[in-house]
Amino acid sequence: MTGLTYFQLAESFADEIRESDVGGMAHGGEFETSLMLHLHADLVRMDNADAEYLDEPYERGTKDLLVGGTLSTYRPFEEYSESGAIGDPSLASAEKGAELFDRLGDELADVLRAISEQSQ
């Protein structure tokens, strides 16, 4: 069994939306914070949007939510940044979140349509 993540769904279009460099879209970075600003802005504290770009020390490690490496390791989020957030949430906006959300919905609909067609 394999899985599909929302950031894998965004691989084909995220570069059209993102402002951050690679490493800016990670845990609580530009991508996820934008989605949260669109969906639940009341839960986002932009005054607390301090984070650091993802800096995985392994050459084959993950570089970003959208740039995966062949090596996956686990470290507590606090090892990546003091706040636990990784990336650049300061570049997030509700407008980006709305576009991400709509385009993710389109991508998911395409996946489900393809699955349905295969099962007929």
Output the domain CATH number for residue 58.
Answer: 3.40.50.10310
What pLDDT digit, counting tens, does each position of 97-117 carry? 999 999 999 999 999 999 999
* 94 within a domain of the structure (yes/no): yes
* 4 within a domain of the structure (yes/no): no
Does pTM top 0.85 for this prediction?
no
38: containing domain: 13-118
What is the dihedral sign for C-alpha 8, 66, 34, 54?
positive
How far apart (Å, rounded) are the C-alpha atoms in residues 83 and 100?
24
* 85 within a domain of the structure (yes/no): yes
How far apart (Å, rounded) are the C-alpha atoms in residues 90 and 43?
15
Identify the H or E element spanning 4.
none
The segments of the chain whose pLDDT lies below 50 read 1
For the chain, how many structural domains are there in total? Answer: 1
